[in-house]
Amino acid sequence: MPKPKPSTIKLQVFKGREARLNKATFRILALHGPLTIYEICKEIRAQKGLKYSRYTNVNRRVRALEQSKYLRKIGVRKTLAGFEASLYELTVRAYAAFVLNQINMNRFIEEAEENEILELLAAFASFT
């Protein structure tokens, strides 16, 4: 029996092979604030289903998310080994993607007030 299709919006950042790692990275940075790549990897490994995630994969994902402007460097922190590690935090784009991924658009259209729908249409119309 096929899986039922989700009724939420699927953004590109949450599609494909890297979706689970992107979601986990967003969730961790939203909860803990700015972290280094090593700290993000450590938190990801503590999650069920992502226990065997490798540092190189997390590093590659964080840098790809930074390049696509979902994350940004906000500074550096000295590590115990004496090196400097970059601190990363979520951008407004990442928070918006995370929220839009949770919204059920069918329910929104059915239950929203008319002025809320008009505001949404005006916001979307400015980008087309």
Question: Tens of pLDDT along 65-122?
Answer: 999 999 999 999 998 888 999 999 999 999 999 888 888 888 888 888 999 889 888 9
How many angstroms separate the CA atoms of 62 and 41, rounded?
A: 10
Q: Which pTM does this prediction carry? A: 0.81
- Domain boundaries 12-125, corresponding CATH code: 1.10.10.10
pLDDT of residue 89: 96
- Domain ranges in the chain are 12-125
| Chain segment 9-44, per-residue pLDDT in tens | 678 888 888 999 999 999 999 999 999 999 999 999
The answer for residues whose C-beta is within 8 angstroms of residue 59's C-beta and 6 or more apart is 37, 41
Q: What is the pLDDT of residue 27?
A: 94
